[in-house]
Amino acid sequence: MNFLHFRSRTPRWVIVVFDLLLAAFALAFAYLIRFDLKADSSLIQKEWLILSKSILFYFGVKFLVFYLLKIHKGLVRYTSTEDLKRLFLASLICSLIFLVAGLIRYYYLDHYFLFPMSILVMEFLVSFAFAVGSRFIVKLFYLETIKNKNEEEGVIIYGAGVSGMVTKRTIENDTRNNQLIIGFLDDNAKLKGTRIEGVHVFHTSELEKIVQSNAVKTLIIAIQQPNLESQKNIIDRCLELKISVQKVPNLKSWVNGEFSVKQFAKINIEDLLGRAPIQLNNQSIQKELKDKVVLVTGAAGSIGSGLVREIASFKPAILILIDQAESALYDLQIELLKDFPSINFQFVIGDICNEKRMHKIIAKFLPQVVFHAAAYKHVPLMEENPVEAVVNNVLGTKVIATLADEFKVDKFVMVSTDKAVNPTNVMGASKRIAELFVQSLNAKSATKFITTRFGNVLGSNGSVIPLFQKQIESGGPVTVTDERITRFFMTIPEACQLVLEAGTMGNGGEIYVFDMGESVKIIDLAKKMISLSGLELGKDIEIKVTGLRPGEKLYEELLANEENTLPTHHSKILIAKTRDCDEKQEQLLEELIALIPLQNNDSLVRKMKQLVVEYKSNNSIFEKLDE
């Protein structure tokens, strides 16, 4: 019978007897201390005569209190802080009972205390120490016997705060885990050289030195709200050192202040590209949206659904969601009804190009604010299907914007793209034409028409990051169109929050551009994602350069050459100064829409180039129309 089997069958009476024996030793030890370990036989006999009359009472109280507090029912090998609290309480109650009983004996029986006061205090301290110590000895012995015998893996914990200490204890308490904590890593220089719970604290500048002198395999980020720049720096250095990076779960997933090793999550690429949280003027946004009727087109898409979640938090009176993607809208419906049960949602399946359908919806609900996020956005597909790009992005915008004007919507906020700047493809040109129409309508409407423009969104449908993830999971190769290609990136919440902020501050006619931060080389992004997946480039997986796709730019831009910007009260939002849409362009727009039924791509794109003079095709069959 092995140790584990024996411990799982240990009778409860054994624990009871064990605790009573410890109590006896504690009492004897207290007397020895009182007499400085020098008591002679006569003194011992004298003390025993006094003690013998109450010794049974002593054991009876100990047994009864420990039994009522269920001390014997705790599994000794799993002793926790809760068990320690019960032990302390039991010992304290026993001592208080002995004190009261001693007073009763002194004043009403034989003028002797149950125990001298010094004995009472020492017995309390010693019995509690014996009970706690014995349990931890058993626990340590148990942990050693079942400890994973595999080779230990060195781990560094980034963050020497509360979350870091919880992480340390979680790793140490998991007997199936073979990780060995090398030390804490912290940005605070004052902690350098100190020890926390016996573990050395290093400064972040010492990372390389620690890795070189120890078999470090993993770094665990144990900071709930890390400085994003510091976090990115640490992760980059770990990737260079070929160290795996994990992070502790969000506090919301902790149970009673604890979590398990299984909850450690891998770092994702968003942790490397995200920026500091945006500070919003929530009061202004709430004033704009609270108790209002708000309509969102393209509501089931990446940006649309992000906007809906943000808007719902400001408690609109009615939130109308329009999308033609039935399954995606259904999934969003399930999520929203669970997360925002008090909001009046209206889920509408419909095509924004269907004027009669849109007229009926807007006439029924009379929205006060419209967020127009519906659009076709994939550059290569739109290059092959220019008619659909014009129908959805131009005609669809015209339908919704015109109805907003007709029904006197307070604000119309259009979501545009950086690809509308000096467009090199059909998709970008179609969005620029939509911008021009919205601006022209603003000049003659009571509705305030506002445009927001930003770059790629991390994790959005069809973006490069989900594509890379699928390619990595399938074993590669990871495809990059050009080694030089760069893109701006923004998280979905960041983009949606800036759209709300810009929509709130807009007075009509503005094109707001967002600070997208530093542009990122796509090939570097691919390399980092491969490393984050625990794979080695060139050994486990390859990167394949495929060449630019039709209409694709090497570098995206947020402002055209002839544009400049004006600052706003928000540091991440600027106003682009663009040329206005004149009567000639309005006429060309009508001619463009009139060409849709002909389904002639060349004619359509030629007209688009007349409307957007800066539109020059790149790597596309439509380059011939630039001659």
Strands 543-545 and 478-480 turn out to be parallel
Q: Of 121, 21, 500, which is closest to residue 306 (Cα–Cα)? A: 500
Q: What is the rounded distance in angstroms from the CA atom of residue 226 to the CA atom of residue 168?
A: 18
Residue 621 half-sphere exposure, CB side, CA atoms within 13 Å?
9
Strand pairing partners for 216? Answer: 154
Cβ atoms of 503 and 413 within 8 Å: the answer is yes
Instruction: Report CA-CA distances (Å) from 193 to 83, 186, 189, 237, 246.
Output: 33, 11, 9, 21, 24
Helix (H, G, I), strand (E, B) or coil at 296: strand
Q: What is the rounded distance in angstroms from the CA atom of residue 480 to the CA atom of residue 454?
A: 22
Q: Of 592, 573, 572, which is closest to residue 581 (Cα–Cα)? A: 592
Residues 6+ apart with CB under 8 A from 506: 411, 413, 448, 450, 512
Provide the annotated active-site residues.
419
DSSP state of 241: T
Radius of gyration of the chain (CA): 36
Q: Please spell the DSSP secondary structure of 442-475, one letter per residue.
A: HTT-SSEEEEEEE-EEET-TT-HHHHHHHHHHTT
Q: What is the rounded distance in angstroms from the CA atom of residue 616 to the CA atom of residue 613?
A: 8
Q: Which two tokens stand for residue 208?
A: 């390389």
Q: What is the rounded distance in angstroms from the CA atom of residue 601 to the CA atom of residue 612?
A: 16
Burial of residue 264 (number of CB atoms within 10 Å: 0-12, 13-18, 19+) = buried
